[in-house]
Amino acid sequence: MSKLGKFFKGSRSSRARAAPSAQEALARLRETEEMMAKKQEYLENRIQRELALAKKHGSQNKRAALQALKRKKRFEKQLTQIDGTLSTIEFQREALENSHTNTEVLRNMGFAAKAMKAVHENMDLNKIDDLMQDITEQQDIAQEISEAFSQRVQFADGFDEDELLAELEELEQEELNKKMTSMELPNVPSSSLPAQPSRKAGVPSSVHRSRAASSRRAEEDDDFKQLAAWAT
């Protein structure tokens, strides 16, 4: 290999080793954009100045006016070139930003994949299946226990409920018979009823009858009250 080939090969390898980072390249592109923007503003001002100078000389000094217009054309050409350069730099900066973003995303995804792999290395799928089966079985057992506790417990006592009801009715009937046999009616008064008072003159017979009926009802009420008090 010739010395010239070795030189270019060494230059390429040194440039590859000294490749700038994405942040450095983006910073330089932004600096270049700022510089070109300032140059663009300067050219726009010069174009306006040369245009004003050409208008000023006009027909009085055509040579000076033509020189001003020529300079204006050169500045406009440079301004057009700067516009194209700025567009190229902007496109390159956006592409580099996207590439840098994709690189960071890919790097982070790689870290996450390694972490996930390290976590999964300590896991055994067979053990996970066994664990899930154990959990399912324990849940079924707990459900059966809950259902068993919620059911009503019935104890067999060996007695017929109909016989017990019949015996209870017999006891109630005996108690009622005892009360009826021990019950004594009140003595009927032996004295004769008082004689009916003579009617007074001028009092209608219907009034006497209503008074007698009221008196009998009062006596009957007293008798019933005595009978009820004795029965209780």
* 9-16 average pLDDT score: 54
Q: What is the pLDDT of residue 162?
A: 79
**131 within domain boundaries:** no
Count other Cβ atoms within 10 Å, centred on residue 43. Answer: 19
| pLDDT-based confidence at residue 81 (cuts at 50, 70, 90) | very high
Is 152 in a helix, a strand, or coil? Answer: coil
pLDDT digits (tens, 9 = 90+) for 42-56: 999 999 998 888 888
**39 within domain boundaries:** yes
| DSSP states of 81-129 | HHHHHHHHHHHHHHHHHHHHHHHHHHHHHHHHHHHHHHHHHT--HHHHH
Residues of the chain above pLDDT 90, percent: 15
Structural domain range at position 29: 19-102
**25 within domain boundaries:** yes
| DSSP states of 147-166 | HHHHSPP-------HHHHHH
**83 within domain boundaries:** yes
Angle between helices 62-121 and 22-57 (to 10 degrees): 160
Q: What is the pLDDT of residue 53?
A: 86
How many domains are there within the chain?
1
Sequence letter at residue 52: A
CATH number for 86: 1.10.287.1060
pLDDT digits (tens, 9 = 90+) for 146-172: 888 777 555 555 667 778 788 888 888
Contact by Cβ (8 Å): 72, 65:
no
Greater confidence (35 vs 20) lies with 35
**195 within domain boundaries:** no
- Rounded to whole angstroms, the Cα distance separating 220 from 222 reads 5
Contact by Cβ (8 Å): 46, 81:
no
Length of the chain in residues, anyone? Answer: 232
